[in-house]
Amino acid sequence: MKRIRSLFLAIFCICLCAGSALAAQTNLTFYFPVSVGGPITKIVEGMTQEFMKENPDIKITPVYSGNYRDTITKALTAQRGGEPPHVAVLLSTDMFTLIDENAIVSYDEIVGKDNMAFTKDYFPGFMRNSQTEGKTWGIPFQRSTIVMYWNKEMFKEAGLDPEKGPATWQELVEMGKKLTKKDESGKVTQWGVAIPSTGYAYWMLQALAITNGVELMNDAGNKVFFDNPKNIEALQFLTDLAYKYEVSPKGTIDWSTTPRDFFERKTAIMWTTTGNLTNVRTNAKFPFGVGMLPANTRLGSPTGGGNFYIFKNSTPEERKAAVKFVQWMTTAERAAQWGIDTGYVAVRPDAWKTERMETYVKGFPYAAVARDQLAHAVPELSTHENQRVTKALDDAIQASVNGSKKPDAALKDAQREADRILRRYQK
Model confidence pLDDT, tens digit, residues 11-23: 444 444 444 444 4
**Helices 229-243, 169-179: crossing angle, 10 deg rounding:** 10
**Domain locations along the chain:** 24-142+302-370, 146-301+378-423
Instruction: Return the pLDDT at 18.
Output: 45
Q: Would you state the torsion angle of the CA atoms of residues 41, 42, 47, 50, taken in this order, to the nearest 10 degrees?
A: 140
Model confidence pLDDT, tens digit, residues 227-273: 999 999 999 999 999 999 999 999 999 999 999 999 999 999 999 99
What does the alpha-carbon distance between residue 157 and residue 152 come to, in Å, rounded to a whole number? 9
Give me the residues paired with residue 345 across strands: 143
Which residues does the chain have with pLDDT short of 70? 1-24, 35-38
For 40, half-sphere exposure in the C-beta direction (CA atoms, 13 angstrom radius) is 23
**Helices 201-211, 229-243: crossing angle, 10 deg rounding:** 110
Instruction: Return the pLDDT at 22.
Output: 46
CATH code matching the domain that covers 146-301+378-423, chosen among 3.10.450.50, 3.30.465.10, 3.40.190.10, 3.40.50.1820: 3.40.190.10
Q: Is there a common fold for 24-142+302-370 and 146-301+378-423? A: yes
Model confidence pLDDT, tens digit, residues 40-79: 888 999 999 999 999 999 999 999 888 888 899 999 999 9
Model confidence pLDDT, tens digit, residues 197-217: 998 999 999 999 999 999 999
What does the alpha-carbon distance between residue 218 and residue 224 come to, in Å, rounded to a whole number? 6
Predicted TM-score of the model (pTM): 0.87
Instruction: Return the pLDDT at 404.
Output: 96
Coil, strand or helix at 288: strand
Structural contact between residues 368 and 361, judged by C-beta atoms closer than 8 angstroms:
yes
Instruction: Return the pLDDT at 66.
Output: 83
For 218, half-sphere exposure in the C-beta direction (CA atoms, 13 angstrom radius) is 10
Instruction: Return the pLDDT at 251.
Output: 96
Instruction: Return the pLDDT at 427.
Output: 75
Q: Give the residue among 66, 111, 70 at the shortest CA–CA distance from 94.
A: 70
Residue 381's φ and ψ, nearest 5 degrees, are -50, 120
- Between the alpha carbon of residue 48 and those of residues 167, 329, 399, the distances in Å are 41, 9, 42
What does the alpha-carbon distance between residue 348 and residue 45 come to, in Å, rounded to a whole number? 22
Instruction: Return the pLDDT at 246.
Output: 98
Write the DSSP symbol of residue 293.
P
What does the alpha-carbon distance between residue 119 and residue 129 come to, in Å, rounded to a whole number? 13
Concatenating the DSSP letter of every residue in 94-160 gives: GHHHHHHTT-EE-HHHHH-GGG-GGGGGS-HHHHTTTEETTEE--EEEEEEEEEEEEEHHHHHHTT-
Give me the residues paired with residue 267 across strands: 191
Instruction: Return the pLDDT at 5.
Output: 53
Fold of 24-142+302-370: D-Maltodextrin-Binding Protein; domain 2 (3.40.190)
